[in-house]
Amino acid sequence: MEASTNELPGNAGQANWSNWHWQMKNSVTTLEQLARWIHVTHAERDAIESVRGKYLWRITPYYASLMDPEDADCPVRLQSVPSAAEMLIYPGAGIDPVSDASYRKTNRVIHKYPDRVVFLVTSMCPVYCRHCTRKYHTTDVAGTYFGESEGVSMEPDFDYLASHAEIRDVLLTGGDPLSYNDRKLEEIVSRLRMIPHIEIIRIGSRCPVVLPMRITEELCRMLDKYQPIWFQTHFNHPKEITKEASAACDRLLRHGIPVQNQSVLLKGVNDSVEIMRALVTGLLRIRVRPYYLYHCDNVTGVSHFMTTLEKGLEVIDGLFGHTTGFAVPDYIITTDLGKIPAGRSYVRRLDDGCEIRNYLGQTEIIQNL
């Protein structure tokens, strides 16, 4: 469904529609507002009721406009409208299955890998993805990322980065760091740039997908002053590759900011070769490089999106060799030991040489390898 402005609350008009502040202010947070975009099913109605007081939900008008009004299995709906399954606790589920908390060095810095860190900017997001791996921190009303409050001084965090010369890569994330306005973001980015050993700054944001009007010329120009900057975003379904999303990525790219994509393999959303092939080839058309495909972790409130490892391997096998090499993301299981590449091996060691297998399943023995 095309975004038709006459359906918007108060007839937004194009100027409002393309203003990210308007999108944030007019976010869908009630059943009544949601019903302006879709025919809400009984199950969705009940789910909205049952997550009340437990999990936040919020959808930008832009992202709501991508929903299929009649199909409750629409991938955009599944990712953004609450589901009753979020309240089920699956065996083994946890709020932090990858133990990020134990690597937290300051209020905002998670230092798990030798040369790079996660810097938590905010717990806010324009759309609260139902499958968020940090669901407790972003969406659970009881949860927060921050040991101390979000508003507390960042000086101890900057001090930590400045005093650890091994850190050459800082990933701004959260939550969605682009929830902050340009001025607050520039305060952070410019401070990071004052630390000589920080070589690259990365911004992890879903805005190109859920709030593409956030990627303004002004934002891109500001970031361009602090190069090298890399951007990573989170498209999960070809339906999300719209004209607006494409234009947002194009603005970043034209300012010299490479854009990479991290998807999560989600049951019912993108767990098929056909959908993933359309996604990754669609991303190449907008010059966004598929980076990671994450296996969905057993996160409390997210478990119903989990697929099997075999499904993930089937998806990767259906991409590799069948399409452009750099369209194929690395398939990753995230664990307390870190990210684990889960792709299959195409080479098998034999006593004398190796057996190799190509993407069509044809095998051959190579001696002396």
What whole-number distance in Å separates Cα of residue 171 and Cα of residue 120?
8
Hey, which residues between 151 and 210 contact ligand PLP (CB under 6 A)?
171
What whole-number distance in Å separates Cα of residue 51 and Cα of residue 75?
20
Stretch that binds ligand SF4, among 82-90, 169-177, 253-261, 350-358 (CB under 6 A): 169-177
Using the rule CB under 6 A, which residue among 74, 118, 265, 283 binds ligand PLP?
A: 118
Hey, which residues between 329 and 368 contact ligand PLP (CB under 6 A)?
339
Residue carrying structure tokens 């199909």: 71
What values do phi and psi take at 306, rounded to 5?
-65, 140
Contact assessment for residue 330 and residue 261, using Cβ atoms and an 8 Å cutoff: no
138 binds ligand SF4 (CB under 6 A): yes
What whole-number distance in Å separates Cα of residue 312 and Cα of residue 75?
18
Residues 6+ apart with CB under 8 A from 2: 65
Nearer to ligand PLP, 68 or 96 (CB): 96
* 129 is an annotated ligand-binding site residue: yes
* 249 is an annotated ligand-binding site residue: no
* 132 is an annotated ligand-binding site residue: yes
229 binds ligand PLP (CB under 6 A): no
Hey, which residues between 210 and 269 contact ligand SF4 (CB under 6 A)?
234
Interaction partner, residue 175 (ligand PLP, ligand SF4, none; CB < 5-8 Å by kind) = ligand SF4
Residue nearest to ligand PLP (CB): 112
Residue 261 bridge partners (DSSP): 233, 290
CA dihedral 228, 172, 27, 251 (to 10 degrees): 10
303 binds ligand SF4 (CB under 6 A): no
Site string for ligand PLP, 75-114 (x = CB under 6 A): -------------------------x---------x-xx-
Residues 6+ apart with CB under 8 A from 339: 292, 332, 333
Nearer to ligand PLP, 112 or 304 (CB): 112
Question: What's the sign of the alpha-carbon dihedral 235, 238, 244, 249?
Answer: positive
Nearer to ligand PLP, 171 or 283 (CB): 171
First to last CA, the chain: 54
- Shortest distance, CB of residue 150 to ligand PLP, whole angstroms? 19
Contact assessment for residue 201 and residue 227, using Cβ atoms and an 8 Å cutoff: no
* Pair of tokens at residue 164: 């650890």
Which DSSP category does 329 fall into? P
125 binds ligand SF4 (CB under 6 A): yes
Stretch that binds ligand SF4, among 127-135, 213-221, 235-243, 274-282 (CB under 6 A): 127-135
Helices 217-224 and 243-254, interaxial angle, to 10°? 30
Using the rule CB under 6 A, which residue among 118, 129, 189, 265 binds ligand SF4?
A: 129
Residue carrying structure tokens 């859920």: 210
Q: Which residues bind ligand SF4 (CB under 6 A)?
A: 125, 128-129, 132, 134, 138, 174-176, 206, 234
Annotated binding site for [4Fe-4S] cluster: 125, 129, 132
Annotated binding site: 125, 129, 132
Q: Which residues bind ligand PLP (CB under 6 A)?
A: 100, 110, 112-113, 116, 118, 171, 339
